[in-house]
């Protein structure tokens, strides 16, 4: 006798069932518990920042989308199972006592509800979990409007492609999923219950099974026909011709598009054939229909377009694709904000002689504001000068550039917030109490004029106004200054902190404490717990005082339920048991400004950098935010992380927005208060259709443009990431002629940064914020600038300026250089560094292996009504390997290049004079805000290595052959003095030694003549 098939699953004892249920409950808590905790703490956080309506709308949309998709998918599968089960054969033939299907049939019969309802629900829930992430698609479909621009092929508004088409395709995809799963569920059910048997050579299929499977297959083919219809519109985002251009090509329009319509017709016929097979009871008809559909999709959908491309397009590609390249050019310019009303092209060719450069007020302003400080090199110096010996304060790897008007004089400044840097805490500072309740905030806003370095104080205080602000070696410094002269020569500090009285602050700040910032939030667990709870102040403020936070930021954890939620969120029991937490306590978290903006506006993509600014005497972080699309018809697609990465990103590891887009707008500016974390969103491009759609989804979350105060608007900068993306696009899309576009002959390239070494040596040169004289008004204008070189060439072809000042904000100016254009950045860098005096000085400075030359940013400035001036600061950095002495880059030389001439001097004035720009050198020398030696910023505790330097006595220059030998001896003595000064770590002594070395080198050169 054969074995008796089991009647069901093995039974479990009562104890086993209890253990199983307990295990399942614990597993569910482990899976669902963290999500519930995050949901609750996020709900509290959104309430803190005043954006709970956003949280509710997103959550409700996700839940509804989850329910709809889960129920639809589950219902279709359940119906398929139900129909198959109810139409099962009454008598099920058994192949024998060992029939393996019998045991499965018995198991299913004993638990019909488990299988009949459980399987559809499980699949439905999984589908809903996947679908809920598409809430953006649903909301844009419900609230999207018109762009006012029609595509050139189907003449539909772009809004259809941006808002409607993604939704239709999403619905279609889920119907495909449902029908496919339902087909296999129906098939398996019929097989288990005997409607389908595989015995024999051909097997057997019951009439009910044949009908049901034919209906499902017919529905699938019918959905495929609908998909062919929508595929026609997707052709306008085709990638067939990438990287040449995006969008529908000649082959797409003349071969693929007709093929889609033919396949649509065949699919409809095949669907009817499947349905007809039900009536005719002949499986050969749907089988032939399926074969026809597969064959036609191969021949019509793939082979025919391939033949057209190979034999019709390729022999005449430039002519065939011209019309479609024109469409791509127009759409890309529209999608990336490069239309003629936003980009002004100017042929930059005129009188570029030195005499012409001296004539214009604009060039005088450009020379007066030449930026000497490289924000990517100065972080160590800022730390040494401003952290006041506290190891836990820090600055970002790359500082920011902004502009301020101080004493009625506008200028650009290197700025930074002095933040708390938790990873720098010492071991004895890292226990939980210190990390989260004592070291809670940073302190102060730091600013340094970008076009000045330290200079010795004049002998006569009345001559402060005439001091040479760019003088590097007067006093042997060459470091950033952190003070500017006020009215009547009084000193005003540009550091706003707890130690500086507000009447002495050049940039006054009411509340200098910083609880929200980029460094303070390097890890998710860097939260702060604040509040008095009737206890003495606990937070570190100064060496002599503590502080208790009284701002609006933070979520209350005064009740046990909230404490339990956050203890679970951070897996930290101290939140529950610490006596430092009481009824007044609040927890401050999500402290990164960019993260806060992205959380309150999840439909925005933020710029990779936020920068601090003082607005209305408050320190705020300004964050640029973008609306994006990935399916703008005919527009070129680009990956943001690839487009915006440059040499600075390679060295600092800045987080890049990783997203592929075909449309981008800087429609929103956001601010985050550094003290209380308040987030405000402002409209800066009210014409953006994507922003209009999201404003309809979340009404009231973005303030109108009229809410921007003049003081805030004055600190808006043209965003770097957007500029880099537009720069990449302009490299190709400045070309109007489609045939010229096809040949690549007129393309540009973004040059590599020639000042970088190592991993960043092959990376793009970053754009630079500079003050440039406006040719129309003669006033300085704060612009973001970049250059372009010829395609795979090194000569300069274009100069780009993105205007940041309120009057021209958002406009791009492209100066197109002539065919005999000057050398590009790479060529100029090579020429300057190989220039005899430069190479000699570099060899002398680095001869002892104790020093390292660091090249500052190579600035490109338009001067002379057609000329190009290159300026590069040289920094000297001590090689501190094996030494405890810190290394601070010191500006020691300035290189310039103009009209193939090279200037090399201790000051901008000297270098400009050497290339024939003496009048501009005079403009750079006389500046209303001349620097003085920075005052003590630590209330009697001077920063390390800072002294009041005295000018060195020049060494007399000998003459004759003996003079040459004497000069060599002087150089040797000077080099030894430089080495001794480096070992001592005294920056003042080092400055004097470098000045002595420069004098010795000059004497040697004179002796050689």
Binning pLDDT at 50, 70 and 90, where does residue 196 land? confident
* Top-confidence range, 183-192, 411-420, 946-955: 411-420
What are 864-893's pLDDT values in tens digits?
Answer: 777 899 999 988 887 655 444 556 788 888
Burial group, residue 867, by CB count within 10 angstroms (0-12, 13-18, 19+): buried
552 has a pLDDT exceeding 80: yes
Binning pLDDT at 50, 70 and 90, where does residue 464 land? very low
Higher-pLDDT residue of 147, 899: 147
pLDDT for 543: 85
Lowest mean pLDDT among 93-102, 193-202, 278-287: 93-102
In terms of C-beta distances under 8 Å and separation of at least 24 residues, what long-range contacts does 728-732 make, across chains too?
728/638, 728/643, 729/332, 729/333, 729/336, 729/338, 729/636, 729/638, 730/338, 730/343, 730/788, 730/798, 730/800, 730/814, 731/788, 731/791, 732/636
pLDDT for 839: 85
What b/e string do you get for 499-509 counting C-beta neighbours within 10 Å, with b at 16 or more?
bbeeebbbbbb
Nearest to 156 by CA among 235, 103, 91: 235
Residue range 950-968: mean pLDDT, rounded: 49
pLDDT for 945: 32
Residue range 250-278: mean pLDDT, rounded: 87
Lowest mean pLDDT among 19-23, 69-73, 215-219: 19-23
8 has a pLDDT exceeding 50: no
Query: Quick one: how many helices (H) and strands (E) in the chain?
Result: 34, 34
User: What residues form DSSP beta bridges with 682?
Assistant: 669, 703
937 has a pLDDT exceeding 50: no
Rounded to whole angstroms, the Cα distance separating 707 from 702 reads 10
What are 141-181's pLDDT values in tens digits?
Answer: 999 999 999 999 999 999 999 999 999 999 999 999 999 99
pLDDT for 944: 31
**Are 217 and 286 within 8 A, CB to CB?**
yes
Binning pLDDT at 50, 70 and 90, where does residue 472 land? very low
Rounded to whole angstroms, the Cα distance separating 118 from 108 reads 12
What are 497-524's pLDDT values in tens digits?
Answer: 888 888 888 899 999 999 999 998 877 6
Binning pLDDT at 50, 70 and 90, where does residue 322 land? very high
281 has a pLDDT exceeding 70: no
Binning pLDDT at 50, 70 and 90, where does residue 794 land? confident
Residue 378 is given by DSSP the state -
Phi, psi of 64 (to 5 degrees): -65, -40
Higher-pLDDT residue of 296, 622: 622
725 has a pLDDT exceeding 80: yes
User: What are the start-end ranges of the E strands in 734-846?
Assistant: 748-749, 768-773, 780-790, 796-803, 812-816
Binning pLDDT at 50, 70 and 90, where does residue 758 land? low
Higher-pLDDT residue of 861, 992: 861
pLDDT for 7: 46
Rounded to whole angstroms, the Cα distance separating 692 from 1005 reads 67
Residue range 253-280: mean pLDDT, rounded: 85
pLDDT for 1008: 57
Tokens of 300: 């019509």
Order of strands, sheet of 528-530, starting from the edge strand that comes earlier in the sequence: 528-530, 586-588, 555-556
Rounded to whole angstroms, the Cα distance separating 906 from 32 reads 66
Q: What is the pTM of this model?
A: 0.85
- Going by DSSP bridges, is the β-strand pair 780-790/528-530 parallel, antiparallel, or unpaired? unpaired
Cα distance between the two ends of the chain:
118
pLDDT for 107: 72
Higher-pLDDT residue of 104, 344: 344
Higher-pLDDT residue of 534, 634: 634
User: What residues form DSSP beta bridges with 747?
Assistant: none
Tokens of 457: 């104080």
pLDDT for 939: 31
730 has a pLDDT exceeding 80: yes
Distances (CA, A) of 843 to 118, 595, 750, 761, 831: 79, 47, 31, 21, 16
Lowest mean pLDDT among 163-167, 264-268, 349-353, 383-387: 349-353
Residue range 793-822: mean pLDDT, rounded: 90
- Going by DSSP bridges, is the β-strand pair 442-443/679-683 parallel, antiparallel, or unpaired? unpaired
Lowest mean pLDDT among 169-178, 210-219, 393-402, 587-596: 210-219
pLDDT for 943: 32
**Average predicted confidence (pLDDT) for the chain:** 82
Rounded to whole angstroms, the Cα distance separating 164 from 146 reads 11
pLDDT for 13: 72
pLDDT for 592: 94
Higher-pLDDT residue of 253, 965: 253
Binning pLDDT at 50, 70 and 90, where does residue 696 land? very high
750 has a pLDDT exceeding 90: yes
pLDDT for 957: 41
**How many residues appear in the chain?**
1009
What are 820-865's pLDDT values in tens digits?
Answer: 778 899 999 999 988 888 888 888 777 766 778 888 999 999 987 7
pLDDT for 468: 31
DSSP string, 169-230: HHHHHHHHHHHHHHHHHHHHHHHHTTSEE--TTT-EE-HHHHHHHHHHHHHHHHHHHHHHHH
Binning pLDDT at 50, 70 and 90, where does residue 935 land? very low
Higher-pLDDT residue of 435, 921: 435
What b/e string do you get for 126-161 counting C-beta neighbours within 10 Å, with b at 16 or more?
ebbeebbebbebbbbbebbeebeeebbbeeebbbbb
* Top-confidence range, 520-529, 533-542, 848-857: 533-542
What are 627-661's pLDDT values in tens digits?
Answer: 999 889 999 999 887 777 777 776 766 667 778 89
Could you give the angle at the alpha carbon of 769 between the alpha carbons of 768 and 774, nearest 5°?
A: 120
Rounded to whole angstroms, the Cα distance separating 601 from 477 reads 46
**Are 187 and 146 within 8 A, CB to CB?**
no
Residue range 346-361: mean pLDDT, rounded: 68
pLDDT for 354: 61
803 has a pLDDT exceeding 60: yes
pLDDT for 938: 33
- Going by DSSP bridges, is the β-strand pair 812-816/796-803 parallel, antiparallel, or unpaired? antiparallel
941 has a pLDDT exceeding 50: no
């Amino acid at each position: 006798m054969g074995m008796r098939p089991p009647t069901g699953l093995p039974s479990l004892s009562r104890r086993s069932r209890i253990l199983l249920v307990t295990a399942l409950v614990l597993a569910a808590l482990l899976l669902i518990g963290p999500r519930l905790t995050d949901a609750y703490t996020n709900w509290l956080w959104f309430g803190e920042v005043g954006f709970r309506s956003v949280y509710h709308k997103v959550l409700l949309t996700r839940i509804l989308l989850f329910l709809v998709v889960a129920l639809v998918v589950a219902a279709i599968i359940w119906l398929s199972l139900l129909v198959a089960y109810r139409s099962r054969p009454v008598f099920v033939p058994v192949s024998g006592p060992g029939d393996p299907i019998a045991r499965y049939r018995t198991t299913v019969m004993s638990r019909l509800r488990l299988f009949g309802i459980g399987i559809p629900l499980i699949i439905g829930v999984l589908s809903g979990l996947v679908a809920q992430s598409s809430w953006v698609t649903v909301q844009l479909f419900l609230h999207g409007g018109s762009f006012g621009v029609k595509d050139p092929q189907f003449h539909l508004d772009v809004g259809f492609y941006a808002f409607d088409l993604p939704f239709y395709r999403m619905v279609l995809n889920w119907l495909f999923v449902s029908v496919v799963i339902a087909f296999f569920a129906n098939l398996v059910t019929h097989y288990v219950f005997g409607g389908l048997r595989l015995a024999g050579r051909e097997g057997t299929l019951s009439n009910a099974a044949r009908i049901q499977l034919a209906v499902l297959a017919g529905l699938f083919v019918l959905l495929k026909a609908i998909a062919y219809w929508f595929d026609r519109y997707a052709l306008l985002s085709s990638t067939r011709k990438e990287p040449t251009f995006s969008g529908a090509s000649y082959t797409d329009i003349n071969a693929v598009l007709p093929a889609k319509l033919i396949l649509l017709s065949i699919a409809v016929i095949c669907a009817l054939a499947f349905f007809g097979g039900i009536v005719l009871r002949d499986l050969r008809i749907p089988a032939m229909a399926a074969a026809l559909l597969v064959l036609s999709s191969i021949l019509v959908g793939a082979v025919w377009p391939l033949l057209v491309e190979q034999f019709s397009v390729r022999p005449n590609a430039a002519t065939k694709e011209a019309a479609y390249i024109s469409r791509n050019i127009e759409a890309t310019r529209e999608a990336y904000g490069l239309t003629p009303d936003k980009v002004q092209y100017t042929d930059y060719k005129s009188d570029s002689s030195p005499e012409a450069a001296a004539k214009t007020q604009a060039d005088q302003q450009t020379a007066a504001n030449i930026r000497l400080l490289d924000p990517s090199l100065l972080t160590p110096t800022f730390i040494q000068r401003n952290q006041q010996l506290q190891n836990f304060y820090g600055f970002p790897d790359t500082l920011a550039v902004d502009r301020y008007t101080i004493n009625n004089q506008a200028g650009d400044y290197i700025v930074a917030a002095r933040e708390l840097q938790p990873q720098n805490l010492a071991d004895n500072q890292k226990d939980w109490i210190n990390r989260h309740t004592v070291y809670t905030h940073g302190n102060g806003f730091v600013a340094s004029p970008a076009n000045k370095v330290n200079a010795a104080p004049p002998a006569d205080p009345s001559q402060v106004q005439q001091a040479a602000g760019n003088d590097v070696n007067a006093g042997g410094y060459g470091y950033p200054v952190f003070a500017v002269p006020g009215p009547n020569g009084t000193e005003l500090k540009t550091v706003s902190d707890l130690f500086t009285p507000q009447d002495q602050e050049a940039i006054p700040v009411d509340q200098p404490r910083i609880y929200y910032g980029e460094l303070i939030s390097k890890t998710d667990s860097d939260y702060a717990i604040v509040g008095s709870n009737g206890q003495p102040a606990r937070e570190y403020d100064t060496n002599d005082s503590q502080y208790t936070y009284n701002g609006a930021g933070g979520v209350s954890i005064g009740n046990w339920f909230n404490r339990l939620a956050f203890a679970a969120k951070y897996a930290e029991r101290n939140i529950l048991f610490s006596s430092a937490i009481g009824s007044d306590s609040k927890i401050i978290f999500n402290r990164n400004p960019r993260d806060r903006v992205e959380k309150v506006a999840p439909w925005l993509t933020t710029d990779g950098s936020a920068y601090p600014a003082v607005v209305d005497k408050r320190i705020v972080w300004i964050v640029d935010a973008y609306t994006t699309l990935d399916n703008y018809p005919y527009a070129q697609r680009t990956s943001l992380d690839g487009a915006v990465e440059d040499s600075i990103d390679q060295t600092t590891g800045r987080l890049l927005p990783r997203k592929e887009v075909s449309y981008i707008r800087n429609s929103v500016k956001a601010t985050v208060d550094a003290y209380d974390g308040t987030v405000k969103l402002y409209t800066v491009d009210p014409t953006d259709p994507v922003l209009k759609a999201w404003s309809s989804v979340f009404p009231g979350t973005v303030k109108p443009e009229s809410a921007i105060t003049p003081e805030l608007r004055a600190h808006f900068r043209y965003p770097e990431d957007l500029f880099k993306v537009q720069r990449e696009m302009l490299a190709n899309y400045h070309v109007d002629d489609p045939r010229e576009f096809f040949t690549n002959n007129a393309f540009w390239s973004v040059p590599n940064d020639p000042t970088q070494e190592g991993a960043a040596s092959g990376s793009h040169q970053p754009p630079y914020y500079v003050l440039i004289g406006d040719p129309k008004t003669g006033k300085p204008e704060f612009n973001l600038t970049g250059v372009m070189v010829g395609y795979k060439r090194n000569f300069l072809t274009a100069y780009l300026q993105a205007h940041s000042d309120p009057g021209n904000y958002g406009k791009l100016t492209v100066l197109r250089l002539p065919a005999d254009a000057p050398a590009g950045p790479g060529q100029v860098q090579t020429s300057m560094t190989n220039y005899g005096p430069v190479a000699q000085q570099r060899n002398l400075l680095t001869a002892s292996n104790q020093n390292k030359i660091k090249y500052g940013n190579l600035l490109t400035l338009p001067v002379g009504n057609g000329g190009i001036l290159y300026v590069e600061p040289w920094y000297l950095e001590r090689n501190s390997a094996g030494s405890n002495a810190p290394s601070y880059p010191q500006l020691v030389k300035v290189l310039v290049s103009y009209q193939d001439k090279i200037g090399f001097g201790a000051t901008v004035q000297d270098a400009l004079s050497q290339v024939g720009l003496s009048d501009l050198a005079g403009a750079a020398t006389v500046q209303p805000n001349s620097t003085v030696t920075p005052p003590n910023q630590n209330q009697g505790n001077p920063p390390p290595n800072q002294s009041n330097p005295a000018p060195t006595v020049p060494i007399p220059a000998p003459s004759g052959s003996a003079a040459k030998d004497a000069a060599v001896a002087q150089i040797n003595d000077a080099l030894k003095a430089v080495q001794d000064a480096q070992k001592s770590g005294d920056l003042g002594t080092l400055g004097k030694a470098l000045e002595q070395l420069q004098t010795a080198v000059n004497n040697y050169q004179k002796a050689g003549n």
